[in-house]
Amino acid sequence: MTSHVTDETLTEKNNTTPIDLPRIERAVREILTAVGDDPDRDGLLETPGRVARMYAELFQGLHEDPRQYLKKFFVEQYDEVVLVRDISFNSMCEHHLLPFMGKAHIGYLPDGKVIGLSKLARVVEVVSRRPQVQERMTETIANLLLEELNAKGVAVVVEATHSCMTIRGVRKPGSLCVTSAMKGLFRSNLSTRSEIMQLIYGSQR
């Protein structure tokens, strides 16, 4: 029987499950042997250790809670759109363990509370460093902001290139996946939704 791992269960595991570097190294040696190479040859001797350290870095978000960056806010009587565009990120597709990378656009409608702009980038950084699909990443960021800021509306648009589509399988370089999560007024009010999309894309800039 398989269990469904949600972002909530991942958060519960934060800071409780260390990265097991020696286990990753052993697994990498097994993979190298399984594909027909010799893990003991000069060029591969240090590869298992490098890969283990790489995974520890790429999956750091499994053991860090992005909510920590949303705890400090400022009380401001501002109720128009706040938008940060083009937040770059790198993440890992959970289906093939190949990277997808791109940029996130985050907008919200404050309800008396605003957050430091750099904190939005911090949230993207933490959430992106997990094995996942782009759709879940987009929803996770939007839900975090909606819950922690109690905003009137949250809009998250993520654009990414997936190496599982460009270097294997269908092999279509240049393809772009776009996902969006609209919450609150951005979902219920068409004019508000149109405003944020215009601010993000303009006339395709």
- Phi-psi region for residue 47, left (φ > 0), alpha (ψ -120 to 50) or beta? alpha
- For residue 170, what pLDDT band results from cuts at 50, 70 and 90? confident
CA distance 134 to 140: 10
> What does the block give as tokens for 79?
């109720």
Instruction: Say which of 12, 30, 57, 94 is annotated catalytic.
Output: 94
- For residue 31, what pLDDT band results from cuts at 50, 70 and 90? very high
Q: Is position 63 annotated as part of the catalytic site?
A: no
What is the per-residue pLDDT across 35-79, written as a single tens digit (0 to 9) for each?
Answer: 999 999 999 999 999 999 999 999 999 999 999 999 998 999 898
Identity of the residue numbered 193: R
Q: Is position 164 annotated as part of the catalytic site?
A: yes
Q: Is position 134 annotated as part of the catalytic site?
A: yes
Q: Is position 80 annotated as part of the catalytic site?
A: no
Q: Report whether pLDDT(15) > 60.
A: no
- Nearest CA-CA partner of 29 in 2, 50, 47, 8: 47
Instruction: Say which of 25, 63, 64, 93 is annotated catalytic.
Output: 93
Residues 189, 191, 192: CA angle, nearest 5 degrees: 65
Instruction: Say which of 95, 135, 147, 198 is annotated catalytic.
Output: 95
Q: Is position 204 annotated as part of the catalytic site?
A: no
Average pLDDT of span 126-135: 98
Average pLDDT of span 74-101: 95
Residue 205, pLDDT score: 55
Residue 147, pLDDT score: 93
Residue 128, pLDDT score: 98
Mean pLDDT of the chain: 91
Instruction: Say which of 134, 139, 148, 195 is annotated catalytic.
Output: 134
Task: Name the 3-class secondary structure at 115.
Answer: strand
Residue 24, pLDDT score: 97
Q: Report whether pLDDT(135) > 70.
A: yes
Q: Is position 94 annotated as part of the catalytic site?
A: yes
